[in-house]
Each structure stands twice: as structure tokens, then as C-alpha cells.
Structure 1
Amino acid sequence: MTVDIRIIRAGQMYRYYLRETVVGDGRRPARTPLREAQEQAGVPAGRWMGRGLAVLGLAPGEEVTEAQLRNLFGERGRHPYADQIEADLLAEGVSPKKAYRAGALGRRVMVTGVDFVFRPQPTIYLLWALGDEETRRVIEAAHERAIERVLEWIEDEVAVIRYGKDGIYRVRPPGGLVAARFRHYEARSGMPLLHDHLLLSVKGQRLDGKWNSIHTLALHENTVAASALYNEIVAAEVCEELGLATEPRTVTPGRRPVMEIAGVPHGLIRWTSRRSDQIAACLAELEHEYVTAVDDDGELKFLPVVSETARAKMNAMAARKTRPPKQKTRPLAQLRVWWKASAILTSGVAVDVITSLLEYARAAAAAIRARGAAGGERARGGRGVAARGWVVEGG
């Protein structure tokens, strides 16, 4: 799955995001302003998204500041400009208590948001990492538009505000939602991994102007659908813009194939998946411990198979257990040079394939289209023969 979700809570969890996630998963130097830390980490500034921005005085694409993040996600759901609102009212002689309340978006909450992580399929981010600048720009643009479309879908079809006793009333947030998007370029291993963190605020405004929290369970329940929509949009746009095609590939035996860009060698995917192999090995050990146990007499007994819920929890545990320290951050241009050199030296894929990866992928797409055209001609020819035979036999 290429869209993951994680709950953001005020307090320690939020501080983790402000220390690491907003600066490319690196450790933010103490007392370093946010934008300066992002520049040092080689990642762009966060950007605001969502149809709910206007009512908060924000604009799509506007840079996310530390104060705005702290208010919305760290201070239990306050207005991004709560500091300014409070200061203005205090200057007008309003009591501190009323001034503070004016900066609140409804009731204070502990769960302040959810973190959606969007990443393309491996063959797409490999083309992004090893291709030329134009290929990189096309893939990043497709990636961003797919995130926008998924957010619109969440606003229109998924998000619901619960209110009233026991949350018996449920409505869509008519004004939309608010999210902060942060771009990352690499995995903790240093391997290429284009991905964005979309920090979605749980605050939504009803038609009567009151603010409530959206139902996070509905977001969790639709993560698979969000992933499918994101993958479909990214792949379709990348294929159209670059003249490529997709093909099914089996990643895990016994599970459904995934659609990947044709012509990108599997050896390059293996080159980037060292950490995935470590997680898989650790997960296998955890699953074995889960399904086997020793009773009081020292006898080995087997428990029921691992449920999907238990497997998801163990997968997260395996990821934490095998998590390496973050590599020293470098600008994207330097990373792309290093990635190409590393792939040439260690992936086992031919140098000419790596240096001309887009051309190989385009050739594979042309072959797929040619086979499709030939198959269509054979099918039409077969139907013609069958029809003529039916006429002869019927006469």
C-alpha cells in the first residue's frame, strides 16, 4: 500500500513531528528556526492545502510556519493565527480569558490530526531518482496532483463531522478541510523514496459556523481506497506525459500483483529495498512468536493465524525495531548523483539501462502497445472467420 496513516496527538507526538518530520525525517538542530532547518536538510518548506484554508485566512500553496503548526496541531486545535487574534483582542481591552477562547476552533482535543504519507510505486520513484530533470519534474507534478485529488475525495466523500450527544449527528465539512504538506526525498537508509507527509487537521466547520472534529475512524477505514486512487492517478499521468505503460508484477507470492511501470528492471527495485528486506525478516520472526507458544507443561502449541489487524501492528513494530539512524542530509541534486553512482556500482543492472532508464521504459511501453494492437487484429480476424463459418453452416 502506498498511502499510510498515523494519528497526530498534541504533546509528545506533535513535538516529534516538529523535530523530525517537517525537516525530512532528520534531527532538527536545537533552537534553529524552521525554515533554516529545512534549508539545511535540503527539503522544501511545507505548503498549505485544502478547501478549508480560506476561512482561516490561509491560501493554497502558502508556506507553513512554525507558529501555525504549533497552534493547529500542537495546541489542541487552535486557529493557525491564534497568537495574532489573541494579541489584537488584548490590545482592544478584551479579557485574557475571552481573547484566548477567540483563538480556539471549537473544543480543545488531544487528537489534532492525521498524517497521510503518499509515495509512488517503486518503478515511478526510480524513474524520478535516476532520470533527467524533466522526468523528475513530471513525476513530482503528477505526485502533487494525485495528493490534491485524494484530499478532494476525502473532503467530498469520506470526512464527516460528529456532534451532538454521543456523536449522533454526522455531516460533511461543507467548507472543506485544512492540511499541511511536507516533501521528503529519501528513506532513512539513504535510498531514493519520493514521499509527502500530509498533516490533515481534524478540525472542520459546520454550516452554522461551529467547529467540531472529523471522525478519524472513517479516515482509517478508507486508507486502502485512498491508496488505490492515488496510485491510479499518478500512474495514469506519468504514463501519459512520458509515453510509458504499466504491467502487473507479483511482489509477494500469493498476493495480488501490483501495477508497475514496464521496462524498469526488478534489480533496481531490489537495490532500493534493503530496509524492506530487514522489516520483512523481523516481521516473520514476530509472526512466528505470535502463532506459537509453550504451555505450562513445556509443550509447543499453535495459536490461530495472524489477523490483518495484528499483522499491521507487528509490521509497525518491525519497522521500529529495524529503523536505522537517519543519514546526513544532502541537497536533492547531490542525492541524485549519488543514487545513480550507487545503482551503477551495486544494483547489478547494466550501466546503459540505468543511464537511459526512460528510453528503456518507453521501448517496453511501445512493445506492449504493439502486442495489444496485434492481439486486437487477431481478435477481429477470428471474429470474421467465425462469422463466415456460421453463415456457411446456417445456409
Structure 2
Amino acid sequence: MTVDIRVIRAGQLYRYFLRETVAGDGRRPAGAPLRTAQEQAGVPAGRWMGRGLTALGLAPGQEVTDQHLRNLFGERGRHPYADRLEADRLAAGESPEKAYRAGTLGRRVTATGVDFVFRPAPTIYLLWALADEMTGRVIEAAHEYAIGRVLEWIEDEAAVIRYGTDGIYRVRPPGGLVAARFRHYEARSGMPLLHDHVLLSVKAQRPDGTWGSIHTTILHENTVAASALYNELVAAEVCEELGLATEPRTVTEGRRPVMEIAGVPHELIRWTARRSEQIATCLAELEHEYVTTVDDDGEPKYLPVVSERARTKLNRIAALKTRPPKKDKNRSLAQLRADWKQSAILTSGVPATVINSLLQSSRAAAPKIRDRIPTVVDTDRAARNVTATVRMMNDGGRFHRRHLLAETRRHLALLLRGRRRDPHLDDHIVAAAVSHHCLDISEPKTARGREPGYRLYTARLNLPRPGSVRRQ
């Protein structure tokens, strides 16, 4: 999954984000202003995004400042300009209590934001790192476009504000959401890794203009669908703009393939995967410890196979155990690109001529793939394949709409191989799947259970087993 999510809480996690993450994942010098720290780290300034900016007096693309971050995320959900609002009220003769409340966005909260991390597939950021500067700009633009589209989808389809007793009432934030975006260029290992941290504020306006908090659990539930949308969009933009195509690559035997840019040697992926290999080795050891226990006599006793949920938690532990230390100094993007290319030529095993002509090689591989892409997608056939796959992938064959949506986006990415599609095609396929190939088995006992997104489905009988995607 190439979109990760983590809740940011006022206090330690916020201070960590402010001290290290906003400054290019490098340690921010004590007392250094935010912009100075970012310039020293060689990363661009953070920028605001989201449709909810207008209500806060901010503009899309406006630079994120220390004051903005402190108020909105560090002070448990205050207005980015709370200091100014409070001073104006005090100057007008209001009491300190009323002046303070003027800068507060509804009830104060502990969980103040959600950090989404967006990163494209390895072959995409390898092209960004090793090809020419123009190619890099095209890929960054595609990356930024895909992030914007995913945020719009979260605003329109995923985010909800709870209110009323026990959060019984739920409403989409009609004015949209507010997020601060920070771009980074490298991984902790020093390898190329184009990625953005999008710090989403939990604060949003209800229809009556009062401020509430979005439900972070629902954001977690929809992360896989968001990730599938981002992957599909960024690949399509890159392929259409540069004349490329994607192909499936099996990363782990027995698990679904990932879509990569055709023509980029996989040896280059292995060149960047030093940390991934360390994590995989540590994960294997942790899984062995997890499934092996010792009985009272000291004999090994084996537990059932590791579940997906347990594997996710163990993977996080492995990532923490193998983390290299933070770097004190970073390099400019131009210097990074020069160093990466030299390292790839010397250590990846890929000939220098191939590395120097990476874009041309990828373009040469595209025509045969693009010629086989269907001009029209058979919606019902796609719905059948998606439903059959979701039934197989979910324990007990029971699932929600978000599972169908995530699988539909994966299916379209595999089918279209980097071609753009109608932005509503995924919803049409899900609607066909629900109408013709699913049974509603919900027995809702709560308000949430009666919502469309929480209806529980199972597949109808006699669906074909999911197989490889063929031309339609």
C-alpha cells in the first residue's frame, strides 16, 4: 500500500512531526524557524490545500508557517490565526475568556490531525530520480495531481463529522477539509523516494457553520480505497504525459502484483530496496516468534498462520527495529539526483547506457502494451470479477462497499495499464456489483449500521473464480 496513515495528537507526536517530519525527515535544529530548517534540508516549504481553507482565511498553495501549525495542530484545534483574532477581541474590550474562545474551533481535541503519506510506485520515483529534469517535473506534477484528487474524494465520500449523543448524527463536511502538505525527496536510507506528508486537520465545519471533528476511524477504514485511487491516478497521469504504460510485477509470491512502469529494470528497484530487505528479514523473524510458543515442558508449540492484521502490526514493529538514525544534513535535489545516478551506475548492476536512457527504454516498451488496452470497459464483467475477488479475499466472504471500491480501482489499474478513465467508472462498477452480484445481509442495530457505507454484503452464488485480467 502506498498511502500510509497515522493519527497526530497534540503533545509528543505533534512535537515529533514539527521537529523532524516538516524538515525533510531530518532533525530540525533547535530554535530554527520552519522555513530556515526546510531550506537547510533542501525541501520546499509546506503548502496548504483543501476546500476548507476559505473558512480559515487561508488560500490553496499558501505557505505553512510555525504559527499555523502550532495553533491548528499543537493547541488542540485552534484557528491558524488565533493569536490575531484574540488580540483583536482584547483590543475591542472583550474579556480574556471570550477573546480566547474567538480563536477556538469548536471543542478542543487531543487527536488534532491525520498524517497521510503518499508515495508512488518504485519505477515512477526511479524515473523521477534518474531521468532528466523535465521528466522529474512531469512526475511531481502527476504526484501532486493525484494527491489533490484523493483529498477531494475523502472530502466528498469518506470524511464525516459526528455530533449529537454518542455521535448518532453524521454529516459530510460541506465546506471541505484543511490539510498541510510537505514534500520530501529521499528515504532514511538515502535512496530516492519522492513522497508527501499530508497533515489533515480533524477540524471541519458542519452545515450550520459550527465546528466539529471528523471521525478518524472512518479515515483508517478507507485508506486502502484511497491508496488504490492514488496509485491508479498517478500512474495514469505519468503514462499519458510521457507516453508510457504499466505492467504487473509480483513482489511476494502468492500475493497480488503491483503495477510498475514497463521498461524500468527491476534491478533498479532492488538497488533502492536495501531498507525493504532489512524490514523483510526482521519481519520473517518476528512472524516465526509470533507463531511459535513454548509449552510448560519447554517444547515448541505452533499457532495458526499469521493473520493480515497481525502481519501489519509486525511489519510496523520491524520497520521501527530496523530504522536508521536521522541524518543531520541533507543535500539539494540537484545534488541528490547526481549522487543517485552515480550510485546506480556503480552499484545497481544496470549498465550506465540503460540508466542514462531510462525514459527512452520505457517509451519503447509501451506501444505493445497500449495496443492491447481495451477501448471500452465491460462494466458488468468487471463487476463480476471484482465481487469474486473480494469474496475470496475477505474472511467469511462478507464485505462492505469500500472493499468493492478498492478492488475496483486495482482492477482498473491492471486492465487499463496507465490509460486515463472516466472518473466515475469505479462508482459505476461498484454499483453494478452491489445490484447484480451481491446480497445485502445487513442486520443493522445502530445508526452507523444503517448507513450505505456500512451495509454488509456477501457475493451471490455461482460467481466465476477470479482469474487474470484479459482483454475485454
TM-score by length of 1: 0.93
What displacement does 1:110 show?
A: 0.4
What displacement does 1:91 show?
A: 1.3
The answer as to whether partners of 1:113 and 1:201 remain within 8 angstroms in 2 is yes
Aligned partners of 1:326 and 1:77: how far apart in 2?
29
User: In the TM superposition, what are the counterparts of 1:201-216 in structure 2 within 5 Å?
Assistant: 201-216=201-216
Does structure 1 residue 61 correspond to structure 2 residue 76? no
Aligned partners of 2:256 and 2:371: how far apart in 1?
26
Residue-by-residue CA offset, 1:43-96 (whole Å, 9 max, x unaligned): 000000000000000000000000000111111011111111111111111111
The answer as to whether partners of 1:8 and 1:113 remain within 8 angstroms in 2 is yes
Aligned partners of 2:306 and 2:103: how far apart in 1?
46
Aligned partners of 1:299 and 1:228: how far apart in 2?
44
Greater Cα radius of gyration, structure 1 or 2: 1
Aligned partners of 1:244 and 1:234: how far apart in 2?
12
User: In the TM superposition, what are the counterparts of 1:171-320 in structure 2 within 5 Å?
Assistant: 171-320=171-320
Residue-by-residue CA offset, 1:373-395 (whole Å, 9 max, x unaligned): 9xxxxxxxxxxxxxxxxxxxxxx
User: In the TM superposition, what are the counterparts of 1:1-395 in structure 2 within 5 Å?
Assistant: 1-327=1-327, 328-369=329-370
Residue-by-residue CA offset, 1:180-229 (whole Å, 9 max, x unaligned): 00000000000000000000001110011111110111100111110110
Aligned partners of 1:157 and 1:147: how far apart in 2?
15
Taking a change above 3 Å as real, the CA distance of residues 67 and 371 of structure 1, as seen in their structure-2 partners, is closer
What displacement does 1:369 show?
A: 3.8
What displacement does 1:352 show?
A: 0.6
Aligned partners of 1:371 and 1:58: how far apart in 2?
46
Aligned partners of 2:100 and 2:308: how far apart in 1?
44
Aligned partners of 2:123 and 2:197: how far apart in 1?
20
Aligned-residue CA RMSD in angstroms? 1.1
Residue-by-residue CA offset, 1:232-259 (whole Å, 9 max, x unaligned): 1111110011000111111111101111
SS in 2 for 1:323: coil
Residue-by-residue CA offset, 1:315-347 (whole Å, 9 max, x unaligned): 111111100013330000000000000000000
The one-letter code of the counterpart of 2:107 is: R
The one-letter code of the counterpart of 2:148 is: E
Aligned partners of 1:219 and 1:321: how far apart in 2?
27
Aligned partners of 2:106 and 2:161: how far apart in 1?
12
The one-letter code of the counterpart of 1:40 is: Q
Residue-by-residue CA offset, 1:135-173 (whole Å, 9 max, x unaligned): 000000000000000000000000000001100000000
Aligned partners of 1:287 and 1:368: how far apart in 2?
38
Q: What is aligned with 2:438?
A: none
Q: What is aligned with 2:465?
A: none
What displacement does 1:370 show?
A: 5.5
What displacement does 1:307 show?
A: 1.9
The one-letter code of the counterpart of 1:151 is: L
TM-score by length of 2: 0.78
The one-letter code of the counterpart of 2:67 is: A
Aligned partners of 1:299 and 1:339: how far apart in 2?
50
SS in 2 for 1:208: coil
Taking a change above 3 Å as real, the CA distance of residues 288 and 168 of structure 1, as seen in their structure-2 partners, is same
The one-letter code of the counterpart of 2:324 is: P
User: Which is worse superposed, 287-296 or 47-56?
Assistant: 287-296
Aligned partners of 1:334 and 1:175: how far apart in 2?
41
Q: Percent identity?
A: 81
Aligned partners of 2:314 and 2:373: how far apart in 1?
42
The one-letter code of the counterpart of 1:84 is: R
What displacement does 1:312 show?
A: 1.3
- The answer to which structure, 1 or 2, has the higher relative contact order (CA under 8 A, 6+ apart) is 1
Aligned partners of 2:360 and 2:152: how far apart in 1?
34
SS in 2 for 1:53: helix
Q: What is aligned with 2:461?
A: none
Aligned partners of 1:58 and 1:299: how far apart in 2?
63
Aligned partners of 1:23 and 1:369: how far apart in 2?
40
The answer as to whether partners of 1:189 and 1:326 remain within 8 angstroms in 2 is no
SS in 2 for 1:305: coil
Aligned partners of 1:10 and 1:306: how far apart in 2?
34
What displacement does 1:20 show?
A: 0.4
What displacement does 1:371 show?
A: 6.7
Taking a change above 3 Å as real, the CA distance of residues 325 and 236 of structure 1, as seen in their structure-2 partners, is same
User: Which is worse superposed, 138-147 or 302-311?
Assistant: 302-311
Aligned partners of 2:23 and 2:204: how far apart in 1?
27
The one-letter code of the counterpart of 2:340 is: W
Aligned partners of 2:159 and 2:223: how far apart in 1?
12
- Name structure 1 gaps, 5 residues minimum: 374-395
User: Which is worse superposed, 81-90 or 122-131?
Assistant: 81-90
The one-letter code of the counterpart of 1:285 is: E
- Name structure 2 gaps, 5 residues minimum: 375-472
What displacement does 1:367 show?
A: 3.5
